[in-house]
Amino acid sequence: MTDTAFSIRPEGRQRPLGWWLLRALGALGILILIALLAGWTYQTTSERYDAAAYPMAGGLIEADGVRLHLHCMNDGAAGPTIILLTGMGSVSSAWNPVMRDVATDHRVCAYDRDGTGWSDDSGKPRDAGVAAARLAALLDAAGITGPVVLAAHSYGGIVARVFTHTYPDRVSGLVLVDSSHQDMGQRFPPEIQGLFDDLLASFGLVETLHHTGLPRALSLVAPAVDGLEGTDLAASMSRLNTISHMRASAAEAEGWERSAALARQVQTFGDLPLHVLVADDWPEPMLPSWLEMQRELAALSSRGRFDVVAGANHSQIAMDARYAPRVAAAIRGVTEAAAD
């Protein structure tokens, strides 16, 4: 018997290149599947851990068919209740430094809009008009019947203006903290305008990536709560890193044009006490138009004030303990003016 009788294949026969490519692609596919499964396991396990480690402060109140998270401090204080509105993609706990300052002499409440933070998700489309109606329902359900003072950051400023325009008898004063402007996408310099569209689209992308655990592992959403520290930061990140929160934030981003259209209908607040605070740590090409738009917001009221908070960026102005006294002072000033 010759040696060739034991050969696996005739001498000189080789596997075709396509066979090796298929094997390589198959192995790569298996590795990707394993990585995705590991990421999903990491994400879901971490969400369960965070939910136990950082339970909501306050509670859930049904309003307009969905349970919204409401957290109040100093419930026994006299005078109007202060309501804090978050920016797009942010959470109520990001207001904690301001809340603690204001709560020394006022009742102050922060809440999460539909699907964000600790609130349940209605699964329905949303925009500033829907958010304003749900805030009105939340105030009713919580027994907050008197006129309130609204303090709003970023996109929350759009919601606050639509709410004040729709329910003027329910608002006694307004503080806008580096508020979004309805025309910002068109009025930033041309080279910047595309970045605004990219920002709106990024919420949907991050929601998708959350299924892989990558944003959590890489702290991709941390800039949204720049300025927070300690437990405030950890609690806020615990919700920012959830799929449900980012899904709801993406839904708000999808409704931006509807929200902007509603805000354009707001022409004046008469003599409503109004204080506009603006951060100055914006990229140089954006700062002049941003300041101009903020001054326009202050001009919505004959009693409007405009102040620049030096050194603060867009997130820090509402969240950083260094700037909390400035925001709290603006809230107190508007509250006192409303009482005159």
pTM of the entire predicted model: 0.89
255 within 8 A of 132, measured Cβ to Cβ: no
Return the closest-CA partner of residue 80 out of 48, 59, 107: 107
| DSSP class per residue in 97-148 | HHHHHHTTTS-EEEE--TTSTTS----S---HHHHHHHHHHHHHHTT--S-E
Each of the 340 residues of the chain gets a pLDDT tens digit; together they read 444 433 444 445 666 766 666 666 666 666 666 666 776 688 788 889 889 999 999 999 999 899 999 999 999 898 999 999 999 999 999 999 999 999 999 999 999 999 999 999 999 999 999 999 999 999 999 999 889 999 999 999 999 999 999 999 999 999 999 999 999 999 998 888 888 888 899 999 998 988 888 888 888 899 999 999 999 999 999 999 999 999 999 999 999 999 999 999 999 999 999 999 999 999 999 999 999 999 999 999 999 999 999 999 999 999 999 999 999 999 999 999 999 8
pLDDT value for 40: 63
pLDDT value for 24: 67
Q: How far apart (Å, rounded) are the C-alpha atoms in residues 327 and 260?
A: 25
Which CATH number describes the domain made up of 54-339? 3.40.50.1820
pLDDT value for 242: 94
Long-range contacts of range 221-227, CB-CB < 8 Å, 24 or more positions apart?
Answer: 221/89, 221/246, 223/315, 224/89, 224/90, 224/315, 225/90, 225/91, 225/94, 225/315, 225/319, 226/313, 226/315, 226/316, 226/319, 226/320, 227/315, 227/316, 227/318, 227/319, 227/320, 227/321, 227/322, 227/323
Strands 171-177 and 148-153 turn out to be parallel
Domain ranges of the chain: 16-51, 54-339
